[in-house]
Chains A and B, each alone.
Chain A
């Protein structure tokens, strides 16, 4: 294997010192002279007509500088379906609907002003169950929304998710065993420790600057530019500057009402306006992972080869549409391509309800679908009388395969992952005891080489060098804590022959940084990494060209190592980088050493049948758990947790482990404890006491196994690894519980109550 100096090293995250000393500036910490504070009034009813709003009292409160309602703002529309507006007029459709907003000199005054706003509502009946909302004649959430061929009013969104490959009906007939089940998953939320917020301000020429914590700076800039146009400010510029981000996990992949409200308040008052969410707002007014009802059937031959997979899904979209509605596009990935399955049918419907609307969350549909698929795989294996380990091995994906969705699998370490997990857990010895202890496993596929969700999957990088050898990298990528800036620095340093500490990465400002489609789909290491590598290569070529002249050596014979350009033929011929750079700058007719590179991976948009090679390469992995189930209390204790991942190559093993630990911890929460409880559209547990995130006492000591398949397209062989860590967690745990006590829980989270009830049921039988 090649010897690397920077790649493959456990290099601390570049901004860790700033963070560990409390010096890092988050959105909450930002203060701008003259800044006002914005607060939002939400609807107290999940579904109601607004008859009137009276803001006169609020406006009179000293310190209040502006009050806005849906009746006095320009027609800004936002969201994936453009079905949302910053402040609602005429009608509210959920309890997070914004009806008015205030800007005041201090947050308490703004809060007080909200209490003085009088809104008169006519309450409408609500609809909270997507299956109810789908019915003919159901009450309509958006009266103007029509769908189907007849263009009839409906609550079903016009997103006909439908993937068909092969012949499922025929395959079902020819299957020796068929399992059919209904699985359910519910709302969980990102719980970023830093709540949402922004600061918006205009300059004298009405150009807009927003301090933001977005994961999509370039797309946010576009959304804000559109908003400016809707405000009558066509041609004005929008600039997005990111502060430190207190956690992302997909929550910041869209633009939100609060951001437009801050913009509108800033425009009205001509002052910077800051909006910061309280924790309660963060729980009820941000967009969680969406619930789904999953009807799934899978079949296999006598000897345990999968014959088909047939899935129908209903997703509760909530009252408006963000990326949650597009998660079926990612669910298609495990449905079509996790294990070899020749015949596939998947049909999903997203349905408007008066619940909160959903968003992307780490894994983006994959954990939901994989829970059903890999739980049921164990059910099917049992029917066929085959050990689930052998069953998985028999159906595991392999390099070179083209899946029913036309994914081209190049490197694939799935078999290695399954095998490694089984070895570590001592699978053959410990499985099947049914003595309260049990083991289970589940696998994953995820995009590992970008994902062509938009027309482009690109990312730009600019690199310039100063007189002394410092490398300034300007990337379109976004770091929200995962460490992309460090990984990019390692890649650049490796390519350029310098050290990580010579590299400064800037990723915070749309006026400075190149374009990128955002931090989603685990794409940053792969796409931004390849982009950075490409730019570094160009810079290197320039450096060698300058050095060739001064050293009197041909370019092919030169290379850079440890900040020095040297001749491979004659090591005596060498020059420190700084000297070469100064020569470039100070020579008559000199040049500036800098380069840009735009990398757009060679992946494909899904076609009209939702087929195509979405990603350049795919990440695989398998998680195995050993649990102990207390039959008296239904408590599930995780005794061991093994996570094996095909990562291509670990650019930074320490940061990579951090992604796996953090992901798997969120996955255990998803499996066992986390649940946003909604009753008639109301979030009943908007706090950390009642929404049960894992604490340090609850996490197992994860054993991680890194499988390096060295992907030919990845930067130094790497694949994306941001999301995979939480994808197979829930089914692995559900399978282990079944092995331990013989009960199969099909809806998340697997609470002690559910386990206990299932144990009781089993006894009765």
Chain B
């Protein structure tokens, strides 16, 4: 199996890692780089638990070839807190609005919300719902997640 060296920006820092060419981005992150914040809920591109940001856009890392991040910018949930460990406003809002129960969907959900707000800082509720529709949550019924996102965009 072919090995290749990948160089990309991960959570703001340059990384260079040797990897087998068949790996998914999720495997690279979780197994090689031990960034366990990215979750695998289905491994089939259907639940969004593995969402990360690639050049600011969400991708399902479980079906995304690791090779293709070469030269790009990847942000995982670990990259959202600042250097002092302060939570990102979205993370804070998720905590404060009760948007987290079992938490398994949460990292992917937060990143989907970030990508949405980066592109559209004042989304309508429709747009918020649409923006996280690819991320399944079994616990919360989404309501408090939607509230948290609306709070960050200054709409609550």
Contacts and interface: CB of A to CB of B under 8 A. Distances in A.
B76 A193 contact: no
Interface stretch (A227-235, A476-484, A495-503): A476-484
Interface-central residue, A15, A18, A194, by most chain B CB under 10 Å: A194
A13 B148 CA distance: 14
Interface in B23-56: 30, 35-44, 46-47, 49
A44 interface: no
A94 to B, nearest CB: 23
B37 A22 contact: yes
A657 interface: yes
Interface of A: 10, 12-13, 15-26, 28-29, 190-195, 244-249, 278-279, 480-483, 654-655, 657-658, 661-666, 687-689, 693-697, 699, 701-702
B98 to A, nearest CB: 4
B46 A688 contact: yes
A620 to B, nearest CB: 21
B143 interface: yes
Interface-central residue, B36, B47, B91, B100, by most chain A CB under 10 Å: B100
Q: Mostly helix, strand, loop or mixed at chain A's interface?
A: loop
A20 B42 contact: no
A21 B81 contact: yes
B122 interface: no
Given A245-B102, A687-B44, A689-B46, A20 B95 contact: yes
A193 B137 contact: yes
B141 A699 contact: yes
A194 B39 contact: yes
30 contacts: A12-B98, A13-B98, A13-B101, A16-B94, A16-B103, A17-B91, A19-B102, A20-B87, A20-B94, A20-B106, A21-B81, A22-B35, A22-B38, A192-B102, A193-B47, A195-B41, A244-B102, A244-B103, A480-B102, A481-B101, A654-B97, A655-B98, A661-B144, A662-B141, A664-B141, A665-B140, A666-B138, A695-B134, A696-B130, A701-B143
Interface string B94-133: 1111101111111100100000000000000000111011
A16 B76 contact: no
Q: Mostly helix, strand, loop or mixed at chain B's interface?
A: loop
B100 A696 contact: no
B105 A193 contact: yes
Given A21-B81, A661-B140, A26 B104 contact: yes
Contacts of B141: 658, 661-666, 694, 699, 702
Contacts of B81: 21
B78 A696 contact: no
Interface residues of B, number: 53
A662 B139 contact: yes
Nearest to A22: B37
A245 B101 CA distance: 10
B146 interface: yes
Contact of B43 (A19, A23, A278, A654): A278
A284 to B, nearest CB: 14
B61 interface: no
A19 B143 contact: no
Contacts of A194: 39, 41, 102, 104
Given A28-B39, A662-B138, A665-B141, 9 more contacts: A13-B95, A192-B138, A279-B44, A480-B102, A481-B101, A654-B144, A663-B141, A695-B136, A696-B132
B139 A481 contact: yes
Contacts of A191: 136, 138
Given A16-B95, A279-B41, A279-B44, A699 B143 contact: yes
A481 B103 contact: yes
A658 B37 CA distance: 23
Contacts of B35: 22
B77 A21 contact: yes
A16 B46 contact: no
Nearest to B78: A22
Interface string B55-97: 0000000000000000000001110110000010001001111
Nearest to B34: A31
B142 A279 contact: no
Contact of B107 (A22, A661, A696): A22
A193 B77 contact: no
B141 to A, nearest CB: 3
Contacts of B135: 696
B156 to A, nearest CB: 13
Contacts of B87: 17, 20-21
B133 A697 contact: yes
B46 A193 contact: no
B100 A22 contact: no
B47 to A, nearest CB: 5
B147 to A, nearest CB: 10
A699 B144 CA distance: 12
A246 B104 CA distance: 5
